[in-house]
Structure 1
């Protein structure tokens, strides 16, 4: 059951993290005061943690209210969360990815607008943010645009595909919703693969997380700072083996990372 709780949290955590990125990009693009103090950074970090960690944990807790039984097991897939299709499930669980994606969509649009308005001051604004470079900012902005295009429609489609064909049950009581709570529904592949809707729902739930990771790695995994970190890590490991990788690192132009 713990794994299914993490799936619930991850489904909310991805749009929540995208919202944090878009908020930070907007704050950089629209900032009027170049100097940002320690207190402002601390406050921003706390807000980001509340959004990216606090909201997913809250939804994981709220999920228990509409968790009809422990979990489902799909053959060839594994454990999936059990959500009782009743009206309270929508504000408690289903709405959060869509809501966060919509807010992120607004921030992304405001970021693009602020960047266009203040494009002349852009380099100075970016340099005022610690550990931020122009290239990194543009990669984050590209990630922001991707969230605008993908998160909101995918979140809405996820609600549709997960509830399509299911009758909306009335909320009677806590005991009724959690009757026989220890039950684990096992669904053979021949059954869930017989429904196109079920196939799309199961496969999307399985692949959305590695797909998100690949997008993030594609944007940031090959950047200069990432490659410097790779070489620094490799140099550390090789040095422990008694070898000297400095000559090869100099050819790659990564002497700074090894010094």
Structure 2
């Protein structure tokens, strides 16, 4: 039976592997340990699925037993590692939303990293070790899927293996609800914390909430569905003893596609579990791969790649030219104010002219000519004795306002300084 998802699935798996690691550098700088573990587990799981889907396409051979031993443990670890990383993200978001102090010390950050490492690294390792208790034989090889863990369908399997994704998802859901409630109640203090925190912005906070909510949406229903399929498809065998469970442990099951695809429920459960992995990686990139810091990193990486070929970004000279022109204009104003013969008095009407009857009328050409004749033709400074207070009073009485030259120059200099 042909695999209808080939080569689409390997492409998406490789994209999930690559895109998951793109935002990793700036999240490492921000000490976002839960987010970093989410990227690492998603990327590792996508790489594992990519290799399996390519090597075991249209075959169920066993060319590399060592790789299969590693592969099944990656699958086991990722099955709880990704939900555990989502739990750490929700836990951190809750602490931020219910923060008591505006600043967080370096020691508190280290403590949070240690806690996240215990949840996302130590716990999956312990989980992988416990899986050996219910592992019936070494592994199975499914055609088109590759190496898969071979768990004995007995009652302890549900407590050792199947219940943990659901339990982790429920704890994450509690943290998610508490985060929303704390955020609604304490929005002012939350905004103060974000304004003082350089590693976390409001946009990144809400993107993390969206990522955790999407993970919860898929983790819990998918885990419940897998438990139901395993219960219905295969009868639950009783636990007899350690020797009975591990009888013939070195055996490797090689199952062609025509057999395992004949069970529709098993096909749905397997494909849903398989596609969940690249979906996590692509979803993470969709939320964080187009942020401001991501676009800046893409620009730096692009110019670093093309620089050996003689390409370089155009210098941002527009602002520099504007500042230079502003300084030149300011210098000209200083020079003009230092030499009064380059300055002119600004004379403007103070109020409209009125006739003797009290109604306004437009000034005639004769009025402008008469007013122009009364203005001095030689440049006069405010300290000159030729322009006396009597003349100034006469101008004001005729509706004219005199602006001192020093005030004119000061106004121009201030305007240029503000523009620069």
Q: TM-score, normalised by structure 1?
A: 0.91
Residue matched to 2:97: 29
1:172-187 superposed matches below 5 A = 172-187=240-255
Residue matched to 2:107: 39
Equivalents in 1 of 2:148, 2:117: separation in Å?
A: 26
Give the drift of 1:142. 1.3
DSSP-derived class of the 1:63 partner: helix
1:193-208 superposed matches below 5 A = 193-208=261-276
1:43-62 superposed matches below 5 A = 43-62=111-130
- Match for residue 123 of structure 1 among 191, 203, 206: 191
CA deviation map 1:35-76 (0-9, x unaligned)? 211111111000011111111111111111111001111111
> As a proportion of its length, which structure holds more helix?
1
Residue matched to 2:40: none
DSSP-derived class of the 1:92 partner: helix
Give the drift of 1:94. 1.0
- Indicate if the aligned counterparts of 1:108 and 1:148 stay in contact, CA closer than 8 A: no
CA deviation map 1:142-178 (0-9, x unaligned)? 1122233222222222222234321111212111111
After the TM superposition, which of the residue ranges 24-33 and 193-202 deviates more from structure 2? 193-202
1:23-102 superposed matches below 5 A = 23-102=91-170
Equivalents in 2 of 1:63, 1:243: separation in Å?
A: 56
DSSP-derived class of the 2:250 partner: coil
Give the drift of 1:233. 1.9
Matched, 1:246 2:313: yes
DSSP-derived class of the 1:170 partner: coil
Equivalents in 2 of 1:233, 1:160: separation in Å?
A: 47
Equivalents in 2 of 1:140, 1:43: separation in Å?
A: 20
DSSP-derived class of the 2:84 partner: helix
- Name the CA shift for 1:171/1:61 in 2 (closer, same or farther; >3 Å): same
- Match for residue 177 of structure 2 among 109, 128, 131: 109
Give the drift of 1:242. 4.5
Aligned-residue Cα RMSD (Å) equals 1.7
Residue matched to 1:156: 224
1:12-23 superposed matches below 5 A = 12-23=80-91
CA deviation map 1:3-52 (0-9, x unaligned)? 01100111111100100100110111101111211111111000011111
Give the drift of 1:196. 0.6
- Indicate if the aligned counterparts of 2:222 and 2:273 stay in contact, CA closer than 8 A: no
- Match for residue 5 of structure 1 among 73, 85, 100: 73
- Name the CA shift for 1:229/1:112 in 2 (closer, same or farther; >3 Å): same
- Indicate if the aligned counterparts of 1:161 and 1:200 stay in contact, CA closer than 8 A: no
- Indicate if the aligned counterparts of 2:80 and 2:164 stay in contact, CA closer than 8 A: yes
1:215-226 superposed matches below 5 A = 215-226=283-294
The count of corresponding residues between Structure 1 and Structure 2 is 249
Equivalents in 1 of 2:191, 2:231: separation in Å?
A: 47
Residue matched to 2:260: 192
Q: Which runs of 5+ in 1 are unaligned?
A: 252-259
Equivalents in 2 of 1:49, 1:2: separation in Å?
A: 21
Equivalents in 2 of 1:184, 1:137: separation in Å?
A: 46
Equivalents in 1 of 2:143, 2:313: separation in Å?
A: 51
Q: TM-score, normalised by structure 2?
A: 0.57
Equivalents in 2 of 1:114, 1:139: separation in Å?
A: 17
Return the index of the structure with the highest Cα Rg: 2
Matched, 1:212 2:250: no
- Indicate if the aligned counterparts of 1:105 and 1:147 stay in contact, CA closer than 8 A: no
Equivalents in 1 of 2:105, 2:238: separation in Å?
A: 52
The structure whose RCO (Cα within 8 Å, separation 6+) is larger is 1
Matched, 1:166 2:234: yes
Equivalents in 1 of 2:238, 2:198: separation in Å?
A: 52
CA deviation map 1:193-240 (0-9, x unaligned)? 11111111221222110011111111111111111112222222223x
